[in-house]
Structure 1
Amino acid sequence: MKRDIELARDILVALEELESFDEPVIPDIPDRSKHEVVYHIKLLFEAGLIDAQNWSTDDGPEWVATSLTSAGHDFLDAARNNTIWEKAKSIVVERGSALTIETLKIALSQVVRGALS
């Protein structure tokens, strides 16, 4: 399965919108399969943007989100605005880099700094 940076962002937004993290969760993302969402929860956990638990069984992988991390909140604060998000993605692509969490963190930081100048 390929990483989908838009889905990763959608998951972060959905998690932030929860009133609480009383229970581990797999957010319902429209037009996305549970399998796609679970895989991206694992990727976001590996990137340090969320805390998650591996509930995998013999039936298959099952990662559930337990909270956003401070880094996840920071990333989402920068990525929430669609204009800033699209500009950051275009900067990464124009420079010939892959759209990864790390390259987007750098580009988002540059776009936000430019907006503050």
Structure 2
Amino acid sequence: MKLDPDCIRDILLTVERHTTFDNDVEPKDFSTDGLVQKYGKQKLLYHIRQAGESGLLSRVKFYMAGFSIQDLTPAGHQFLADIRSDTNWNKTKKVAAKIGSTSLQTLISVASNVISDLIEKTMYPK
């Protein structure tokens, strides 16, 4: 299955929105946020697995009847912070498409560079 960067971002936003210290994220949370309807169950599960294996989600467990996600990892929080704004996310996707790679590692790197560029422009305006 082809990786859908928007699906990854939506997963991270949902996990952040629904996790607490005592509560893991479960399928109902993704239904509540409309992600099952938007992406379909198989695509959503695939992207949850990819985000977990890429170190963005902690303690992803799959069961016969569903799954649970404990939280975002520190790397997941960092990536989400970098792409939270639609402006930064769209710029990240545009740069990734221009260089021809939308792998998670490329997206993470590009997002970090987009933020670094914004910091530099803010601190040292021309």
What's the TM-score once normalised by structure 2's chain length?
0.79
Number of aligned positions between the proteins: 112
CA RMSD of aligned residues (A): 1.8
Helix, strand or coil for the counterpart of 1:102?
helix
Structure 2: distance between partners of 1:9 and 1:43 = 12
Gaps of 5+ in 1: none
Residues 41 and 63 in structure 1, CA contact (< 8 A), matched pair in contact too: no
Identity %: 29
Which structure has the highest helix share of the two? 2
Match for 1:106 among 88, 100, 109?
109
Structure 2: distance between partners of 1:109 and 1:24 = 26
Tell me the residue number matched to 2:26: 25
Helix, strand or coil for the counterpart of 1:2?
coil
Tell me the residue number matched to 1:40: 47
In structure 2, do the counterparts of structure 1 residues 63 and 4 end up closer, same or farther at CA, with 3 Å as the change threshold? farther
In structure 2, do the counterparts of structure 1 residues 91 and 4 end up closer, same or farther at CA, with 3 Å as the change threshold? same
Matches within 5 A, 1:44-55: 44-51=51-58, 52-55=60-63
Check if 1:70 corresponds to 2:77. no
Deviations 1:58-79 (A, max 9, x none): x8xx543221111100000001
Q: Amino acid of the residue matched to residue 2 of structure 2? A: K
Helix, strand or coil for the counterpart of 1:65?
strand
The runs of at least 4 consecutive aligned structure 1 residues that moved more than 6 Å come to: none
What's the TM-score once normalised by structure 1's chain length?
0.85
Match for 1:94 among 94, 98, 110?
98
Q: Amino acid of the residue matched to residue 73 of structure 1? A: H
Gaps of 5+ in 2: 121-126
